Amino acid sequence: MKFFIDTANLAQIREANEMGVLDGVTTNPSLMAKENIRGEEACRRHYLEICSIVDGDVSAEVIATDFDGMVREGEALAALHKNIVVKLPCTADGIRAVKYFAGKNIRTNCTLVFSAGQALLAAKAGATYVSPFVDRLDDICSDSVGLVAQIVDLYQTYDYTTQVLAASIRNTLHILQCAEVGADVVTCPLSAIKGLL
Ligand code: E4P
């Protein structure tokens, strides 16, 4: 299983990388804002900084919610660095954009996934990763780990190559539970990774 760190904080990314177990990074607009990274140019510089620290996939999320905007932003993000993965919401426009980027061999992370139906659409469209939101599913009394297991099984049934990237993880136990059901990747805070010790 791959370990991604779910932060835009450079110090934490460096610390996780120095642990020797880091395979990549996921960010989102909230995590970028938390580091006071605002504006397209500042974001681009920050993504390049992250890519200079970790030799692994770095998910950079589009802000736009319409197809044309997602394409415009995603192409600019993908052009930044070979390790940038364009992160797109699992909406009608987002799935359309996943398909568009798949046709251009630009890797994508279909995020904000809360159901197996959404995960099927993401794989069908050719997403590189799908991100079911584990803790936010728990927050609404939904069986989050059961969903991860269901997606893993569905993808194996149809030999989909889309990787299941368990996201919205806030505690160490969820790392273990997602590993037990076969998630390809977990993305989580440094504290959760260190909690495995
Ligand atoms: C990662 O790709 C997601 O954006 C992140 O895990 C979401 O976490 P949250 O539920 O704390 O927003």
What is the tens place of the pLDDT at every residue in 37-61? 999 999 999 999 999 999 999 999 9
pLDDT value at residue 151? 98
pTM of full prediction above 0.95? yes
Which of 34, 82, 87, 99 is an active site residue?
A: 87
User: Quick one: which atom of ligand 1 is closest to the CA of 131?
Assistant: 2
Answer whether 111 contacts ligand 1 (Cβ < 6 A).
yes
Count of beta carbons in the 10 Å neighbourhood of residue 150: 16
- d(CA 17, CA 25) in angstroms, rounded, equals 10
| Degrees to nearest 5, angle at CA 70 with 90 and 27 | 65
Count of beta carbons in the 10 Å neighbourhood of residue 62: 22
Count of beta carbons in the 10 Å neighbourhood of residue 159: 7
3-state helix, strand, coil in the chain (%, to 5): 50, 20, 30
What is the tens place of the pLDDT at every residue in 145-173? 999 999 999 999 999 999 999 999 999 99
pLDDT value at residue 20? 97
What is the tens place of the pLDDT at every residue in 94-129? 999 999 999 999 999 999 999 999 999 999 999 999
Sign of the torsion formed by the C-alpha atoms of 145, 149, 151 and 152: positive
Q: What is the dihedral of CA 159, 187, 100, 152, to 10 degrees?
A: 20
Answer whether 167 contacts ligand 1 (Cβ < 6 A).
yes
What is the tens place of the pLDDT at every residue in 11-35? 999 999 999 999 999 999 999 999 9
pLDDT value at residue 194? 97
Answer whether 162 contacts ligand 1 (Cβ < 6 A).
no
Residue of 2, 7, 133 to test ligand 1 pocket, by largest number of atoms within 8 Å of CB: 133
Give distance in angstroms: CA of 23 to centre of ligand 1.
Answer: 17
- The band of 36, judged by pLDDT with boundaries at 50, 70 and 90, is very high
Q: Is 87 tagged catalytic?
A: yes
pLDDT value at residue 49? 98
**Ligand 1, atom 12: nearest CA belongs to which residue?**
168
